[in-house]
């Protein structure tokens, strides 16, 4: 399965956390709200970020956006809030989400909101060269075209309400409007919990060595023609190796170009775990399709 890291994010609404204990329990990263709009600083930011950094977690901060105000002024507000704490390995995020009454988006078109986001990101990158700058935003903002291309995406979606890290790690990686999600905020109960789609060591390296883009992603091999249950093709061996790497086939099973019963059973097991890739109307699907093939290989090798 894809390697992940566990994280939290906090703001003035949360009390001080026992960050050292959380790290000992497996937490890798944490972000704190730093600012909002043109002049507001989060009153607990200093307390939160000092604790996060003191525990040795991958640290970051976010700014709640008002796209109907000046991007330059908002970036300056954020920069002033975080400059004492930002350094190599620090992650910066623009929290681009609409208030329920729309007051922070009022009077702005999708193109103007995207331009605001681009300008804010550029200003923060200029202030903190070599540090990652990304966007936290919803599926509706992504589909509306508010998010510049190539920007790391921190994505909130809560399919279960309260949920454990293990449940999120076992679920399929979200892909709103076919965008790659770097970090998934999967619940806000009792705290905002997140998983990053990188191992802890990879997350630290990415944070330290930013090239300005989304983290590099794995590209699955092209779906082979003629691969089907009951047929003999060399690609069946490739499929079997991916099934083993992803944990759906026992490593003791002998590899063979035959797409036989053992391979069929393993494919059915994969489909049962990820029914999205099962053929419609079936409950026991032993035939891997192009989308399932790509998803399986990402689970197996996108580390």
| pLDDT at residue 175 in the model | 94
Cβ of 264: how many Cβ atoms within 10 Å? Answer: 17
For 168-185, what is each residue's pLDDT tens digit? 999 999 999 999 999 999
Distance CA 79, CA 178 (A): 31
Residue 221 lies in a domain: no
Beta-strand relationship, 5-10 and 27-36: parallel
Largest CA distance in the chain: 66
Whether residues 35 and 107 share a domain: the answer is yes
| Domain co-membership, 143 together with 249 | no
54 belongs to a structural domain: yes
Residue 283, Cβ neighbours under 10 Å: how many? 10
Strand partners, 63: 35, 94
> Do 57 and 183 have their domain in common?
yes
Last residue of a domain, one of 208, 224, 252: 208
Task: Looking at the structure, tell me whether residues 268 and 152 fall in a common domain.
Answer: no
Q: Are residues 88 and 189 in the same domain?
A: yes
Structural domain contains residue 282: yes
Listed in sequence order, the residues at least 6 apart from 282 whose beta carbon sits closer than 8 Å to its beta carbon are none
Position 209 scores a pLDDT of 67
| Same domain for 291 and 200 | no
Residue ranges in the chain modelled with pLDDT below 50? none
What pLDDT was estimated at residue 214? Answer: 63
Which CATH number goes with the domain that contains 291?
A: 1.10.101.10
Residue 222 lies in a domain: no
User: Within this chain, do residues 174 and 77 fall inside the same structural domain, yes or no?
Assistant: yes
Q: 285 in a domain, yes or no?
A: yes
Question: By the 8 A CB rule, do 277 and 271 touch?
Answer: yes
| CATH code of residue 59 | 3.20.20.80
Q: What is the pLDDT of residues 43-80, one digit of tens each?
A: 999 999 999 999 999 999 999 999 999 999 999 999 99
pTM of the model: 0.72
Report pLDDT for 13. 96
Q: What pLDDT is recorded for position 278? A: 85
Q: Based on the number of CB atoms within 10 Å of its own CB, is 227 exposed (0-12), middle (13-18) or buried (19 or more)?
A: buried
Q: Single out the residue of 49, 4, 2, 1 nearest to residue 27, CA to CA.
A: 4
In a domain, 87, yes or no: yes
Does residue 201 share a domain with residue 70?
A: yes
| Domain assignment of residue 171, given as a range | 5-208
**Domain total for the chain?**
2
Amino acid 219: pLDDT = 77
Tell whether 201 and 248 lie within a shared domain. Answer: no
Helices then strands, counting H and E runs in the chain, come out as 10, 9
pLDDT computed for residue 173 by the predictor: 95
DSSP secondary-structure letter at 46? H
């Amino acid at each position: 399965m894809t390697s992940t890291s566990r994280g939290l994010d906090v703001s003035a609404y949360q009390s001080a956390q026992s960050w050292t204990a959380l790290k000992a329990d497996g937490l890798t990263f944490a972000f704190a709200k730093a600012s909002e709009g043109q002049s507001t600083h989060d009153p607990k930011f200093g307390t939160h970020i000092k604790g996060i950094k003191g525990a040795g977690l991958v640290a970051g901060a976010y700014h709640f956006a008002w796209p109907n105000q000046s991007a330059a002024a908002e970036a300056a507000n954020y920069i002033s809030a975080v400059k004492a704490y930002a350094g190599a390995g620090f992650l910066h995020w623009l929290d681009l989400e609409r208030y329920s009454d729309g007051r922070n988006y009022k009077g702005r078109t999708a193109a103007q909101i995207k331009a605001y986001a681009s300008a804010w990101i550029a200003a923060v990158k200029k202030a903190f060269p070599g540090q990652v700058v990304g966007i936290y935003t919803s599926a509706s903002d992504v589909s509306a075209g508010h998010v510049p291309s190539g920007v790391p995406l921190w994505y909130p979606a809560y399919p279960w309400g309260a949920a454990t890290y293990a449940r999120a790690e076992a679920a399929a990686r979200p892909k709103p409007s076919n965008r790659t999600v770097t970090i998934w905020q999967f619940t806000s109960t009792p705290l905002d919990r997140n998983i990053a789609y990188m191992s802890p060591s990879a997350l630290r390296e990415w944070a330290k060595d930013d090239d300005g883009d989304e983290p590099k992603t794995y590209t699955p091999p092209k779906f082979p023609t003629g691969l089907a249950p009951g047929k003999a093709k060399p690609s069946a061996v490739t499929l079997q190796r991916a099934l083993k790497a992803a944990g759906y086939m026992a490593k003791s099973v002998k590899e063979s170009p035959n797409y036989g019963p053992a391979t069929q059973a393993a494919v059915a097991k994969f489909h049962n775990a990820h029914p999205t890739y099962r053929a419609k109307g079936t409950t026991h699907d032993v035939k891997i399709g192009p989308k399932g093939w790509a998803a399986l290989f990402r689970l197996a090798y996108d580390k």
